[in-house]
Amino acid sequence: MTEATTVATKGALHGFRVLDLSRVVSGPMAAVVLADQGADVIKVEAPGWGDGIRYLGASRNGLSAIFSMINRNKRSLAVNLKHPQGAALIRILVQSADVVLQNYRPGKIEKLGLGYADLAAINPNLVYCSINGMGEVGPYAEQKVYDYVIQGLTGATDAQAERGAPPAMVRSIIYDKVTALMAGQSITAALLARERGAGGQHVRVSMLDVGLYFNWPDLMWNYSFLGPNVEYAGDLADNYAVNQTADGAIVSHHLGADTSPYTTAQLLEILSHNDIPVGRANKRDEVCDDPQVLANGMLEISDHPRGGAMRLPKPPARFSKTPYSQRHQSPEIGQHTVEILSEIGLSFEDMQALAREGVIA
């Protein structure tokens, strides 16, 4: 099988190795973008407990839905990074890695000897991506950050408020997820630059910076022009509304009329016939059966060894020559420890000794 054939059957990023040292959402979701596109992603977790996102939200048999999606197509290596021998194992793996991804607070991973300078000295061609909450300098840099903090700082909570009402949260971890997508794209761009001769580099992505970038085109357009003679405008979303129907709701432009006597189907037909953008306001339990969702074939059902039958989305980018395939489900903690350490030459006796010391599991 030629290299081109292998890439075509195994994904656009087949042949690239990623060490995912990140946790929770922003890092793991960035890494799953790469994994879904064929990269060999090694998820490094603490022995025993693993990534805390394993225990969040809806679950079955101890498997959480969110963990399953953002950690599929990865191999799990259980290593205690706080143990000197654990950090040493990562430094050995870095020799053959293309990417390291981490989302520790600034300065934390450097104390483990796994910062960019430490690892670039071992592998100058390494693309090292650091995700953090606020940036690496400034009054908030060392603060622990979750999505809701970024919602507040970037004005998103203000934008959700009705006029004169108090701020309100977006009911989704939107900035965790958009930071993940930005990081995944930035890593791929750095790999492309490396292929063109730029060598390895440090890519820094902060949730605050991504939140500002994401909000600016519409939520912040009144703050773009400096000086006089600015024609200010309301929010773009002010043009749209949820309109109640006799049997549900639709989303469209403000119609300026009582829509409640009409059924959803009637309004969809009338408005679409007149080329007015309109859609059904699906309840969450209706989304999977929407006819357009079904036509797109975006959702797939597969069996997880622990969680059983699951319905999860495929990656939204569709490649004509390097299509997506699910190679394996999200792993158990340390499921691939022996396999991965064997690849760097450790014997089973070596691994037993490390396990006795609490270095691996």
Q: Is 176 a catalytic residue?
A: yes
Catalytic site residue from 147, 158, 176, 235: 176
Tokens of 248: 């549900």
Backbone phi and psi for residue 286, each to the nearest 5 degrees, phi listed first? -100, -15
Find, among 186, 11, 8, the residue nearest to 99 by Cα.
Answer: 186
CA dihedral 143, 24, 125, 134 (to 10 degrees): -20
The DSSP element (H or E) to which 122 belongs, if any, is helix 116-122
**β-bridge partners, 204:** 130
Backbone phi and psi for residue 20, each to the nearest 5 degrees, phi listed first? -95, 100
CA dihedral 11, 75, 120, 130 (to 10 degrees): 90
DSSP state of 239: G
How deeply is 192 buried, as exposed, middle or buried, from its count of CB atoms within 10 A (0-12, 13-18, 19+)? exposed
Tokens of 230: 């600015």
| 256/297 Cα distance (integer angstroms) | 36
Find, among 337, 344, 355, the residue nearest to 94 by Cα.
Answer: 344
| 136/273 Cα distance (integer angstroms) | 52
Point out the residues that are catalytic: 176
